Structure 1
Amino acid sequence: MRPLEFPLLADENIHRDVVRALLARGKDVRSVLDEGMGGRDDVDVLRHAHRQGRVVLTHDGDFGTLAYHGGEPFLGIIHLKPGHISPTFVLEMIAAIEASAGDVAPPFVLVAERKDALVRIRVRCAPTAR
Structure 2
Amino acid sequence: MKWLLNMNMPRSLKQLLESVGHQCRHTGEIGLERASDWVVLEEAAREGEVILTHDLDYGRLLAFSGASKPSVVVVRLSRPTPKNIFERLVAVWSTIEQPLIDGAIVVLEDATVRIRRLPIRLEGLEVKQ
User: Fold-level match, TM-score > 0.5?
Assistant: yes
Counterpart residue number, 1:111: 107
Post-superposition shift, 1:85? 2.6
2:119 paired with 1:124: no
TM-score by length of 2: 0.80
- Deviating above 6 A after TM superposition, structure 1's stretches of 4 or more consecutive aligned residues are none
| Structure with greater proportional helix content | 2
**Larger CA Rg, structure 1 vs 2:** 2
May I ask how many residue pairs the two structures share in their alignment?
Answer: 120
TM-score of the aligned structures, taking structure 1 as reference length: 0.79
Shift of 1:128: 8.2
Cα distance in structure 1, aligned partners of 2:57 and 2:79? 15
* Distance 1:83-1:76 versus aligned 2 partners, 3 A rule: farther
CA RMSD of aligned residues (A): 2.3
Percent sequence identity is 25
What letter corresponds to residue 80 of structure 2 in structure 1? Answer: I
Secondary structure of the structure 2 residue equivalent to 1:92: helix
Residues 83 and 9 (structure 1 numbering): CA distance in 2 closer, same or farther, change over 3 Å? farther
- Identify the residue that residue 16 of structure 1 maps to in structure 2: 11
- The range that moved more, 97-106 or 14-23, is 97-106
Which 5+ residue runs of structure 2 have no aligned equivalent? Answer: 122-129
Shift of 1:73: 5.8
- Listed as ranges, the matches of 1:54-65 within 5 Å are 54-65=49-60
Q: Superposition pairs for residues 21-36 of structure 1, below 5 Å? A: 21-36=16-31
Aligned to 1:77: 72
Q: How far off its partner does 1:125 sit?
A: 0.8
For the Cα contact (< 8 Å) 1:60–1:79, is it kept in 2? yes
Unpaired runs of 5+ residues, structure 1, are: 1-5
